[in-house]
Amino acid sequence: MTAGNTRKLYLLPIVLQIATLGASAQTPPPTRTLIRAGHLLDVKTGAEPAAQTIIVTGDRITAIAATASTPAQSGDKEIDLSRYTVMPGLIDVHTHLTGANNFDPLFELTMTPAKEAIIGVENAKVTIEAGFTSVRNVGAGDYTDVALRDEIDAGNIPGPHMQVSGPPLGITGGHCDENLLPAQYHLTADGVADGIAAVQQKVRQNIKYGADLIKICATGGVLSKGDDPQASQYTREEMQAIVADAHRLGRKVAAHAHGAQGILWATEAGVDSIEHGSYLNDEGIAAMKQHGTYLVPTAYLIDWMQQYGKLPAIYQQKMKDVSAVEKQNAIKAIKAGVKVALGTDAAVYPHGLNAHEVDVYVNQFGMSPLAAIQAGTVNAADLMGWTARTGSLENGKWADIIAIDGDPLKDVKLLQHIPFVMKSGVVYKDESHKQ
């Protein structure tokens, strides 16, 4: 090798380092979005400081400071929400985005995975535009909610952050089975499993195919043929096996439970939330407090059904019976100190009306506006295990931000009309400048 070639080899790393430094020096700093808030609602404390600016970089909140001390820099984008109260996006921990508000048995029996997927795309858009930037989807056929979540995460369609369960687990002939056809068709729902070994396998299968959480049917239900909402379905031992496997594999468990015995058994088995809780009694309340189990009341659907619902005859009496007791038992649980997370059962009534649930908590259950909002922000995020990501406006969390024309602590019905929605730094709705 000649001396000239040797010098070139020594110089090559230096040249490459200089080139790299030059390229990095030319890389522009990340674009910032400055959200100029009239008031900023701290959902943890109820404080509403005026004239605050939220700095968003990428998909995260990177700073919050007084607007007067946060001048725009070159390249910054500003969003003027100075007329509005700004707060974190709302969270609904009980949705069925791939489900439609139609309980005609023929509609149910002619449902296909393709239809579910298309319905899910429609409802995801409606839900995020209603100000709900995160949801748990607790039950969908054929893993259509897994596909929906993945397409939203990839940025291909608009929708909220999702945790999804895939097919809900239930017993043969129970609420989570398909009971409309006669025996010769041998139709069984995706999530049906009986016995400890079978439920363990089903938990593992759901996780294999993408489930973020496990949904089980601990009791009978309303919108299912031939079962009793008050009757327990899974045994305590089956539910203990489900919870043990789910928790060991990093998934929480949501239990559909109307009847008192099923609520108690599910709570003792260690589920993370009781959905509905219609016949919740003192024993169940004490157990839920002891175990730190969340109650997800799904209360507004009762009001909607009473005013607009037209259910088939096979469901009507069950809906009437459940509606007669659910709210009074939820009030008793709330007064006793059971933790509450906002869930709606959207699909039982039309998607997009989710924020009506907050109004029920305040004006029927007697919760303070702040406590009701916390049910749909900090509490819901805690139940999902997402406290580090969402539920409040803080540095490092997702830039999931909504604006309200007025003060929701004075009138929570304002949450039913959201003019501005941002999720992960992307604006999905902006009607803030409409007169």
Q: pLDDT digit string (tens) for 285-333?
A: 999 999 999 999 999 999 999 999 889 999 999 999 999 999 999 999 9
3-state secondary structure of 33: strand
Name the band, by pLDDT with cuts 50, 70 and 90, for residue 276: very high
Burial class (CB in 10 A: 0-12, 13-18, 19+), 402: buried
Q: Kindly tell me if the per-residue pLDDT of 388 is higher than 70.
A: yes
The 10s digit of each residue's pLDDT in 354-364 is: 999 999 999 99
Give pLDDT, residue 187: 86
CA gap 258, 275 in Å, rounded: 8
Taking all residues of the chain, what is their mean pLDDT, rounded to a whole number? 93
List of residues 6+ apart from 385 with CB closer than 8 A: 252
Containing 266, the helix (H) or strand (E) segment is helix 260-269
CA gap 207, 193 in Å, rounded: 15
Give pLDDT, residue 27: 57
Name the band, by pLDDT with cuts 50, 70 and 90, for residue 435: low
Give pLDDT, residue 168: 98
Tokens, residue 217: 């049917």
List of residues 6+ apart from 334 with CB closer than 8 A: 295, 340, 365, 366, 367
Q: Kindly tell me if the per-residue pLDDT of 10 is higher than 90.
A: no
Q: Kindly tell me if the per-residue pLDDT of 248 is higher than 80.
A: yes
Mean pLDDT within 56-63: 98
Tokens, residue 279: 């016949």
Tokens, residue 167: 């097919």
Instruction: Write the single-letter amino acid at 203.
Output: V
Best-predicted range by mean pLDDT (28-37, 84-93, 104-113): 84-93
The 10s digit of each residue's pLDDT in 181-226 is: 899 988 888 999 999 999 999 999 999 999 999 999 999 999 889 9
Give pLDDT, residue 392: 98
Give pLDDT, residue 303: 96
CA gap 375, 362 in Å, rounded: 11
End-to-end alpha carbon distance in the chain = 78
Mean pLDDT within 110-134: 97
Q: Kindly tell me if the per-residue pLDDT of 28 is higher than 70.
A: no
Are 137 and 145 in contact by the 8 Å Cβ rule? The answer is yes
Q: What share of the chain is helix, strand, coil (3-state, %, to 5)?
A: 40, 20, 40
Sign of CA dihedral 217, 253, 208, 135: positive
The strands making up 161-164's β-sheet, listed across from edge to edge, are: 90-95, 132-137, 161-164
Q: Which residues share a beta bridge with 427?
A: 422
Tokens, residue 77: 């984008």
pTM greater than 0.85 (yes/no): yes
Long-range contacts of 31-34 (CB under 8 A, 24+ apart): 31/57, 31/75, 31/76, 31/77, 32/56, 32/57, 32/62, 32/73, 32/75, 32/76, 32/77, 33/57, 33/76, 33/77, 33/78, 33/79, 33/399, 33/425, 34/70, 34/72, 34/76, 34/77, 34/78, 34/79
CA gap 201, 73 in Å, rounded: 56
Mean pLDDT within 148-154: 98
Which parts of 108-243 are beta strand (E)?
A: 132-137, 161-164, 213-217
Name the band, by pLDDT with cuts 50, 70 and 90, for residue 407: very high
Instruction: Give me the percent of the chain exceeding a pLDDT of 90.
Output: 87
Give pLDDT, residue 29: 64
The 10s digit of each residue's pLDDT in 363-379 is: 999 999 999 999 999 99
Sign of CA dihedral 239, 240, 242, 247: positive
Cβ neighbour number for residue 27 with a 10 Å cutoff = 7
Name the band, by pLDDT with cuts 50, 70 and 90, for residue 179: confident
Sorted by where each starts, the structural domains of the chain and their CATH numbers stand as: 32-89+393-430 (2.30.40.10), 90-384 (3.20.20.140)
With left for phi above 0 and alpha for psi between -120 and 50, is residue 321 left, alpha or beta?
alpha
Name the band, by pLDDT with cuts 50, 70 and 90, for residue 25: very low
